[in-house]
Every structure is written in structure tokens, then in C-alpha cells.
């Protein structure tokens, strides 16, 4: 069991890690103050964009945000866990005859990953290709 001092040190380090990007943002904002900009304009004849401070801040933020592929994988996994096994656009058995009568469509069971357009394309065949706009 950690001592109270070690626990306090751990909490301090955790808080410091959470606010690391805040200090780089503060430095960027100090660079963008009107006084700093007027001084730069007076001395050098143009305003300062503060690219070094902006780069430090964006670099810090990018380091804290997980990679895009990791986020997409995590989102896909959460969605797969939250959805039932049947796709929401699947035909109900009680409406199968009406769907055939009205639209000429025979319902088919499709896996969740196939999606509504894949099920529709399999069912309708050529008619879907003529109605979908491609770029």
C-alpha cells in the first residue's frame, strides 16, 4: 500500500500530465496578446503569427489524441457490442408478402455487416445500379 506522500505525488503527476497542453496553450496566447503583437509590429514591421508556440501546442494535442485508426476501431467495436444481431433494415417476416406484392422484393436474411444497401442490391439486382449516383 502506497504511503500518503507517494499517493499525493502520484495524484500530482497525473494532474500535471492532464494539463500539460494547457501550459503550451498559455504560451501561445501570451504570444498573441495585443502588446506582444504591437511590439512585433513596431520592431519588425509585421505582426507575429507565433508559429513555434502554435506548433508546440498542436504537437502536444496530437500526442494526447489516439490515432485515427484506433478511434475508428474502438467506435466500431462499441457499435458492434451495442447493436442486436439483426440489422434494423431487415424485413420482418410478417411483412414479407406485402413487400413482394408492393415492390416485387423477396426478403433475405443478411448479416449485420452487409448493410441495408447490400441487402437491397442483392434483392433488386439491376434496378439498384440504375438508381445509385456515382461520382
For the chain, give the secondary structure using H, E and C.
Answer: CCCHHHHHHHHHHHHHHHCHHHHHHHHHHHHCCHHHHHHHHHHHCCCCCCHHHHHHHHHHHHHHCCCHHHHHHHHHHHHHHHCCCCCCCCCCHHHHHHHHHHHCCCCCCCCHHHHHHHHHHHHHCHHHHHHCCCC
Q: What is the pLDDT of the chain when averaged over all its residues? A: 75
The three cell numbers of residue 122 are 442483392
Residue 121's pLDDT is 55
Higher pLDDT, 109 or 100: 100
Q: Is the dihedral of CA 101, 104, 109, 110 positive or negative?
A: negative
Residue 84's pLDDT is 65
Residue 62's pLDDT is 82
Share of the chain above pLDDT 70, in %: 70
**What are 25-52's pLDDT values in tens digits?**
999 999 999 999 999 889 989 888 889 9
**What are 80-104's pLDDT values in tens digits?**
777 666 666 666 777 788 888 888 8
Residue 38's pLDDT is 92
Residue 34's pLDDT is 92
Using the predicted structure, report yes or no on whether residue 130 has a pLDDT greater than 50.
no
8 A C-beta contact, residue 46 and residue 6: no
Residue 135's pLDDT is 41
Spell out the domain ranges in the chain: 4-65, 86-130
Stretch 56-79: mean pLDDT: 81
Amino acid at each position: 500500500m502506497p504511503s500518503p506522500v507517494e499517493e499525493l505525488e502520484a495524484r500530482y503527476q497525473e494532474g500535471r500530465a492532464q494539463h500539460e497542453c494547457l501550459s503550451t496553450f498559455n504560451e501561445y496566447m501570451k504570444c498573441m496578446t495585443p502588446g506582444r503583437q504591437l511590439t512585433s509590429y513596431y520592431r519588425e514591421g509585421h505582426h507575429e503569427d507565433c508559429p513555434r508556440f502554435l506548433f508546440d501546442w498542436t504537437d502536444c494535442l496530437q500526442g494526447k489524441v489516439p490515432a485515427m485508426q484506433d478511434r475508428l476501431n474502438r467506435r466500431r467495436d462499441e457499435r458492434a457490442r451495442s447493436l442486436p444481431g439483426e440489422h434494423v433494415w431487415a424485413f420482418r417476416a410478417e411483412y414479407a408478402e406485402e413487400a413482394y406484392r408492393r415492390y416485387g422484393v423477396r426478403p433475405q436474411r443478411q448479416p449485420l455487416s452487409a448493410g441495408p444497401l447490400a441487402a437491397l442490391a442483392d434483392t433488386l439486382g439491376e434496378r439498384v445500379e440504375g438508381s445509385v449516383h456515382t461520382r
